[in-house]
Amino acid sequence: MNKHVSPEDCCLIVIPCLNERNYIGALLNGLSTELQAPGWRIVVADGGSKDGSQDIIKAASAIDPRIIFLDNPKRLQSAAINLAVARYGRGFEYFVRMDAHGQYPKSYCQQLIADAEMTAAASVVVALETTGFNTIQKAAAIAQNSKIGNGGSAHRNLSRGGYVDHGHHALMRVSAFLAVGGYDETFSHNEDAELDFRLRKAGYKIWISGTTSMVYHPRASVGALFCQYLNYGRGRARNIRKHRTMPALRQMLPLTVAPAVAGTVLALFYWAAIVPAFAWAFTCIGYGFYLRVRQQMPHGPLAGLLAMVMHVAWSTGFWLEMLSLGPRRGVS
């Protein structure tokens, strides 16, 4: 095990950014206030923001020299992390990946370091506490926090801590990251799960923290949510094709959604063809009303509908990729 790292010791923080003016300033201000040790470095790798995010980052850098603006010409999150770690990470034992639109508790980074030291894990991942502001976000958060939306995924539920196969990326040992080659930059989505596969294959361990987590804000429109899950489905399919693996059990049922919906056209000739899609829709909508009545969640019915959007998009993206149809890459 490595030497003990105290909360005053430092690591590299990497924040991929693309058009995040509503969030990036508050995140950098919070980090600048909390991380008092001079050895910390905060690299914001910007993929060409056009909304004023770059001005906010550069202004923060002028005030706090520990904040570094880094141009990310490839735009992808995977490329942003690789570039930042390659350029600034070799002097650090750890780096922490943060989302520009996420919210983090105090001592988040220090707790991740403590978890890494306690477990000797190569990667410490966290659970997501999903919350929203507008109606769509609130309903999407309910869907993503529920089993009908996340299928029981470990990082979508608060954890007591333990070794896992995959989770939302937070802290990673620089040496392990470089040893397996970093993120695969051909992945615009699901690059974290793909890297986790290679980490485990190389014998490294992944620990999900039971002492800290982050707050995540879902997409604020139905269209953006659909595109996000379409790309998630494509990313998962690319991961399966690359490593010749099978989908997890919790992913099997969503895979059937797009074929079931497409199969409803056969109801013109055989009425039973509509049954699978009807059963799926009834389950999602019924679960939404259950949340409204039994769990006192006013956005429950809409959450059921958004779960349907997520399922259709994810399944469609998966099959498009498996059949090699449509674009193979996209920007996160």
Q: What is the pLDDT of residues 20-66, one digit of tens each?
A: 998 999 999 999 888 878 889 999 999 999 999 999 999 999 999 99
pLDDT band at 332 (very low <50, low <70, confident <90, very high): very low
For residue 195, give both structure tokens. 């890297």
Kindly state the tokens that stand for 307: 């779960």
Contact 32, 63 (CB under 8 A): yes
Looking at residues 307-314, what average pLDDT do you find? 96
pLDDT at residue 146, rounded to an integer? 86
Average pLDDT in the 96-121 region?
Answer: 93
CA distance 199 to 183: 11
| pLDDT score for 51 | 93
What are the DSSP E strand ranges found in 21-118? Answer: 41-46, 67-71, 94-97
Q: How confident is the model at residue 114 (pLDDT cuts 50, 70, 90)?
A: very high
- Does residue 216 contact residue 102 with C-beta atoms inside 8 Å? yes
- Give the pLDDT confidence of 176-200 residue by residue, as tens digits: 999 999 999 999 889 999 999 999 9
Output the pLDDT for position 178. 97
pLDDT digits (tens, 9 = 90+) for 208-236: 999 999 998 889 999 999 999 999 999 99
Report pLDDT for 152: 54
Per-residue pLDDT tens over the stretch 70-100: 999 999 999 999 999 999 998 899 999 999 9
pLDDT value for 288: 95
pLDDT in tens, 4-32: 444 446 899 999 999 999 899 999 999 98
pLDDT at 3 (0 to 100): 43
Cα distance between residue 69 and residue 50, in whole Å: 15
Position with higher pLDDT, 295 vs 278: 278
C-alpha dihedral (54, 57, 58, 62), degrees to nearest 10: 170
d(CA 311, CA 318) in angstroms, rounded, equals: 11
pLDDT computed for residue 154 by the predictor? 58
pTM across the whole model? 0.85
Amino acid 325: pLDDT: 53
* Residue 2: predicted pLDDT: 40
pLDDT at 33: 85
Smallest CA-to-CA distance from 302 within 161, 96, 144 is with 144
- Spans of all domains in the chain: 11-220, 225-323
Residue 256 has pLDDT above 60, yes or no: yes
CATH number of 11-220: 3.90.550.10
For the cut 80, the answer to whether the pLDDT of residue 205 exceeds it is yes
